[in-house]
């Protein structure tokens, strides 16, 4: 590999991680911002904005699942490609890129067909009513056509970031976000297309981002290129990528299931106000996770590349920096939430009753947030080293073995306020999951370091 392309293995680790993490964190925040603005526009549609917003809100679990499929392929393939780059095996890295590209096209076609013919059934199952189902269907029918753009933009952009081109990866998100913000009011209000206009603006924006991403991966600046000869699927290439991406897929796709379970349990014990508070709590938690995920994505190319290059000291230093930065951030944010919960609640509501309820619920729900920097750092390291089994074990343990049962069990175990007992499922699951992850990672990381000694 050319010396100017070997910066992942030579540039000072701290400086390199900061340079890669900053654009990935920015991209995460931009993505969240344009989703919020998208909903603001829809909510202000004259006459039926509230119903339209509710209908599009019901589409979110399906959209999250579509994004999860992109992570299944790209999130597993990109670290493997980076490891191959570290071994100076660009041929294998480009085979991984080509196989993942072709698999994402196949998955996109299958998802498009399923969504076009079955979205009404899914949307009704996710909570659409007879008042909101038409808005939801109108949105998803158009969104489904653009599934291929969403898949390729999200999945292939990971291969840009994993090569160390974090600014280019950030621009991929920024281009789509700015275009969506501009097109939304034009299609929704000027052309009177309503939710159809919002969906059309989204898929056109994603199409432009997709062209940007693929142009880069077929251009001169990239290290890895999409080549026609690598588009034939090979099990020995694609299966390890899908296995590694499965943990991220489970984490993202299960969010919709967790949301339904929390809401059903809270509605039973606390009514509508408890469900309304839960919407705010999850929004705060998602907002809190974005910088942590950005830090992890910025560290991943450094960890993967140097793991492949058997550069033990750089791997050790990179993880230490990732863990320290993640833990500092999660602790500082936890302290702010505990001291000033009303500030975070007021970002999402001005209703006095909901505000008062949410303030106390937020302290319970985020009680173990300070430890979550450990969880995210270890999960990203597992993925960066290609440790598929450990990544899956961590994801399944937190979501399915711990959190889901606790949502239903705690109200029967804990005496007193049963609504608060439901909220407590999150911090208890987090504490147990972090404990499990820490023990598992300690043993795995020792093996990794020993492996790199040879």
Kindly list the domain boundaries of the chain, sorted by start residue.
3-254, 308-453
**CB count in 10 Å sphere of residue 16:** 23
Q: Which pLDDT score is estimated for 5?
A: 59
Residue matched to tokens 């949105």:
139
Q: What contacts 40, CB < 8 A, 6 or more positions away?
A: none
User: Could you tell me if residue 313 is left (phi over 0), alpha (psi between -120 and 50 degrees) or otherwise beta?
Assistant: alpha
CB 304 within 8 A of CB 162: yes
**How far is it, in rounded angstroms, from Cα 117 to Cα 111?**
10
**How far is it, in rounded angstroms, from Cα 302 to Cα 311?**
10
Give exposure, 397-413, as e/b (b: 16+ Cβ within 10 Å): bbbeebbbebbeebbee
Give 172-225 as a DSSP string: HHHHHHHHHHHHHHIIIIIS--HHHHHHHHHHHHHHHHHHHHHHHHTSSS-SS-
CB 340 within 8 A of CB 376: no
Task: Give Cα separations from 153 to 70, 92, 156, 212 (angstroms).
Answer: 9, 22, 6, 9
Structure token digits, residue 217: 């991966």
Structure token digits, residue 245: 């991406």
CA 260, chain centre distance (Å): 18
State the distance between the two ends of the chain, measured CA to CA, in whole angstroms.
22
Q: What contacts 151, CB < 8 A, 6 or more positions away?
A: 66, 69, 70, 104, 105, 107, 108, 111
CB 321 within 8 A of CB 13: yes
Q: Which pLDDT score is estimated for 196?
A: 95
Q: Is the dihedral of CA 200, 204, 209, 214 positive or negative?
A: positive
Q: Which pLDDT score is estimated for 447?
A: 92
> Which SS3 state, helix, strand or coil, does residue 227 take?
coil
Q: Residues of the chain whose pLDDT is less than 50?
A: 2-3
Q: Which pLDDT score is estimated for 67?
A: 87
208, 205, 241: which is closest to 98 by C-alpha? 241
Structure token digits, residue 114: 């399923």
- What ranges make up the beta strands (E) of 61-120? none
CB 308 within 8 A of CB 85: yes
Q: Which pLDDT score is estimated for 145?
A: 95
How is residue 363 annotated by DSSP? H
Q: What are the counts of helices (DSSP H) followed by strands (DSSP E) for the chain?
A: 17, 0
**How far is it, in rounded angstroms, from Cα 9 to Cα 92?**
18
CA dihedral 189, 193, 194, 196 (to 10 degrees): -140
């Amino acid at each position: 590999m050319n010396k100017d392309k070997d910066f992942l293995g030579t540039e000072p680790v701290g400086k390199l991680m900061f340079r890669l993490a900053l654009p990935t964190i920015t991209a995460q925040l931009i993505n969240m911002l344009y989703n919020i603005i998208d909903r603001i526009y829809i909510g202000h549609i004259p006459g039926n904005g509230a119903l339209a917003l509710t209908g599009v809100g019901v589409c979110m679990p399906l959209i999250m699942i579509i994004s999860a499929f992109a992570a299944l392929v790209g999130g597993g393939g990109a670290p493997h490609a980076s490891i191959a780059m570290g071994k100076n095996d660009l041929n294998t890295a480009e085979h991984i890129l080509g196989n993942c590209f072709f698999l994402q096209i196949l998955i996109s076609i299958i998802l498009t067909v399923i969504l076009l013919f079955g979205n009404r059934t899914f949307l009704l199952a996710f909570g659409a009513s007879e008042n909101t189902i038409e808005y939801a269907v109108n949105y998803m029918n158009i969104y489904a056509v653009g599934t291929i753009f969403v898949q390729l933009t999200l999945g292939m952009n990971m291969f840009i970031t994993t090569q160390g081109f974090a600014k280019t990866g950030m621009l991929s998100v920024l281009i789509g976000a700015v275009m969506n913000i501009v097109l939304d009011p034009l299609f929704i209000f000027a052309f009177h297309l309503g939710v159809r206009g919002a969906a059309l603006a989204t898929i056109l924006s994603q199409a432009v981002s997709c062209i940007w991403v693929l142009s880069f991966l077929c251009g001169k600046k990239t290290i890895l290129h999409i080549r026609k000869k690598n588009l034939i699927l090979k099990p020995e290439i694609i299966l390890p990528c899908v296995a590694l991406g499965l943990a991220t897929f489970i984490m993202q796709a299960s969010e919709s299931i967790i949301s339904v379970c929390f809401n059903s349990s809270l509605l039973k014990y606390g009514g509508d106000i408890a469900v309304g508070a839960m919407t705010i709590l999850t929004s705060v938690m998602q907002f809190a996770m974005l910088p942590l995920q950005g830090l992890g994505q910025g560290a991943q190319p450094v960890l993967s590349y140097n793991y492949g290059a058997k550069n033990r000291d750089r791997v050790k230093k990179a993880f230490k920096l990732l863990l320290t930065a993640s833990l500092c951030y999660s602790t500082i944010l936890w302290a702010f939430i505990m001291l000033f919960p009303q500030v975070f609640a007021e970002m999402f509501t001005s209703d006095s009753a909901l505000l008062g309820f949410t303030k106390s619920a937020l302290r319970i729900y985020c009680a173990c947030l300070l430890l979550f920097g450990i969880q995210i750092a270890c999960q990203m390291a597992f993925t960066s080293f290609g440790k598929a089994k450990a990544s899956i074990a961590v994801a399944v343990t937190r979501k399915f073995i711990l959190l889901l049962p606790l949502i239903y069990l705690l109200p029967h175990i804990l005496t007193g306020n049963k609504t608060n007992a439901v909220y407590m499922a999150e911090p208890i699951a987090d504490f147990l999951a972090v404990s499990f992850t820490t023990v598992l990672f300690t043993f795995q990381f020792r093996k990794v370091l020993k492996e790199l000694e040879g």
